[in-house]
Structure 1
Amino acid sequence: MKHPDEILAIIPARGGSKGIPRKNIRPIAGKPLLAYTIEHARRTPDITRIVVSTDDGEIGAVAEDWGAEVIKRPPELSGDEASSESALLHALDQLRRVEGYDPGLVVFLQATSPLRRPDDIQSAITTFMAEEADSLFSAGPVHGFIWRREAGRLSSFSYDYRNRRRRQDAPEELVENGSIYIFKPQVLRASGNRLGGKIATYLMDPLDSLQVDEPSDMPLFERLLAVRVPCSILPAGSGSVRMLVLDFDGVMTDNRVLVDCNGNEAVWCDRGDGWGIARLKDAGMEIVVLTTEIVPVAAARCRKLGIECIDGCEDKLTALREMAWSRELGPNQIAYVGNDVNDLDCLRWVGLPIAVADAVPEVLAAADWVTARPGGRGAVREVADHLLREAVSATGSTGNRLRNGVWTDRNEGGASNGTTA
């Protein structure tokens, strides 16, 4: 099957959830439920565009904050009785009518499935293409002997209880887990159904197949996401890092710029990022901002934080190598945080390549670690906190300090520089 040029991810997220009010933007483990699915789509290399279909302005704002486009869904397609298919068709029709845009494939993702593995969506697309399918659903295996209750009567559904076989000899049973659907747009348009033609399946682990449906699910997912996700994405051995290099726009800022009539620029920064930088400096970490832009605001922010700023840098990798050479550092002793394609060379060279949550797909794919927070909204603080935790792990002390490339107890000497955010 020829690989399509455009693969569109559609995430329906209406505002009128009854079981868990405001479910799609309820915070779980530090970020909105919807944000997890947007992140999963952004980290999928083959997905070229991501839209959230919603009737709710607050959900739309969250979606945009986390890097998705928004399609406003009319009220008649947003009630309890409205099908997901109606929202999918509306999104496709809207894009065709307004832009003449017709994707080759649609990846339908539900926001209630935050436990996908980092490569699940890409692997599902690969399966779809390899099997030359027309549609695909993700599924979880069902193990055991299944019964059905119907009209008050029990019957053994997946086996004959009078002729019980060994569990391992039973046929494979699958249940749609609602996490990932892939289909050719013509399948949906012709049948009004997300599934049709040659149907393939992508198998996911039972735990990854769980969905947020009931209020009682929230504490469980809070624990799972707080424990599983950081363990799967945080890099091991970060205690060897001696220098942190940061891009400015999109890392230290939220990638927006305010320009007045005289051409003066202003940006949004996060005070928490500044406090994280101050703590890293206090611990002895060297921090440098490396940016291609020549704007006074970048230098001003770095002066405020007391860190070096190298601006107007057309060749970031050469500048980074020169910094490393002058400081007698190897690539494995440097962490780099980026968000856009001009950061790729540096990310591929350093020992710890880090992407902010709302980085472009190429950067997300190149990173060993993707932060939970977007640029300009706490990503740098998250990195700083992690590096400091690694230092505590290495020394067993909360008063640690970097000395001669080794984290040591700060009580042995050294004073705080007192930098503020």
Structure 2
Amino acid sequence: MNCIALIPARGGSKRLPGKNIKSVMGKPMIAYPISTALQSKVFERVLVSTEDNEIADISTKCGAEVVPRPSELATDQATVHQVVRHTLASLERAGELPGCFCIIYPTAILLEPRHLVESHALLSTRNVDCVLAIQKFKPHPFKALSYEKNVLFPAFPEHFTKKGQQLPSFFAPAGAFHWMRSQAFLDAQGPVWTMSRSGYILKSYEAIDIDEHEDLAMAERLLIAKTDVR
């Protein structure tokens, strides 16, 4: 089954302007997921969907192909779902619709090629249409506290005093990548959450969703630590 990587990278970001090309250890942020996708050797093509000329230029220099994104899909109201449909429609018109694709987020700078190889294997061997990168909730959701009128109290008092091993595991999207079978995505009548899916578990230090300056600082420290270990 032929596969493509799709990196959605618009130019605008209100909380962290220029986020997708901010310098991280001397490289634009988007260079990391492009390099990881290419090194995995899982994909026939690595595509970047963007309306931004600077992102397009950097992406091309890093070895990716650029899919020009229309302005109506470059607002903060546009969804990744819409961007994927636009890209797949372009490929389908050209007779190049892939069997599957992997959405890799431009801020996924801590991903390693093996993560993509292993998660692709899950899509290939499990009877599902999607594989989502996930991570365990830390701290556990049942340990949540409400804070009202300067008073703290447990949000889930029936579970709050239980030990960790007594609580069920909960996971959240890791903000790193999402595999899908192309035809299943195009045929889906509802949200992608209605499609059959499985998860690929990332450790907390292998993925961090970068939305603000403190997220970027933490991701860079983790990347430095990983580089030092090697």
What's the TM-score once normalised by structure 2's chain length?
0.89
Q: Is contact 2:37-2:113 (8 Å) kept?
A: no
1:259 maps to which residue? none
1:114 to 109, 113, 116: 109
Q: Secondary structure at the match of 2:76?
A: coil
Instruction: Show the 5 A alignment for 1:39-188.
Output: 39-97=35-93, 99-146=94-141, 147=144, 156=155, 160-161=158-159, 164-188=161-185
Task: Supply the distance in 2 between the matched residues of 1:170 and 1:226 (Cα, whole angstroms).
Answer: 34
Q: CA deviation at 1:161?
A: 3.3
Q: CA deviation at 1:142?
A: 1.6
1:412 maps to which residue? none
Aligned-CA RMSD value: 2.3
Task: Supply the distance in 1 between the matched residues of 2:59 and 2:96 (Cα, whole angstroms).
Answer: 21
Q: Is contact 1:187-1:196 (8 Å) kept?
A: no
Task: Supply the distance in 2 between the matched residues of 1:148 and 1:55 (Cα, whole angstroms).
Answer: 42
Instruction: Show the 5 A alignment for 1:23-42.
Output: 23-42=19-38
| 2:37 aligned partner, one-letter code | A
Are 1:229 and 2:227 an aligned pair? yes
Q: CA deviation at 1:223?
A: 2.7
Q: Looking at CA atoms only, which structure, 1 or 2, has the larger radius of gyration? A: 1
| 1:177 aligned partner, one-letter code | A
Q: Is contact 1:135-1:195 (8 Å) kept?
A: no
Call closer, same or farther: CA 1:210–1:57 in 2, change over 3 Å: same
| 2:170 aligned partner, one-letter code | E
Task: Supply the distance in 2 between the matched residues of 1:161 and 1:169 (Cα, whole angstroms).
Answer: 9
Task: Supply the distance in 1 between the matched residues of 2:146 and 2:178 (Cα, whole angstroms).
Answer: 28
Call closer, same or farther: CA 1:165–1:135 in 2, change over 3 Å: same
Q: Is contact 1:104-1:185 (8 Å) kept?
A: yes
List runs of 5+ in structure 2 lacking aligned partners.
none
| 1:102 aligned partner, one-letter code | L
Q: Is contact 1:139-1:201 (8 Å) kept?
A: yes
Q: Secondary structure at the match of 2:113?
A: coil
Q: Which has the higher contact order (CA 8 A, sep 6+)?
A: 2
List runs of 5+ in structure 1 lacking aligned partners.
233-421
What's the TM-score once normalised by structure 1's chain length?
0.50
Call closer, same or farther: CA 1:114–1:49 in 2, change over 3 Å: same
Q: CA deviation at 1:143?
A: 4.1
Deviation per residue, 1:358-402 (Å, 9 max, x gap)? xxxxxxxxxxxxxxxxxxxxxxxxxxxxxxxxxxxxxxxxxxxxx
Call closer, same or farther: CA 1:170–1:94 in 2, change over 3 Å: same
Q: CA deviation at 1:150?
A: 11
Call closer, same or farther: CA 1:63–1:150 in 2, change over 3 Å: farther
Deviation per residue, 1:64-112 (Å, 9 max, x gap)? 0000000000010110100011111111111222x21110001011011
Call closer, same or farther: CA 1:50–1:145 in 2, change over 3 Å: closer
Are 1:212 and 2:207 an aligned pair? no
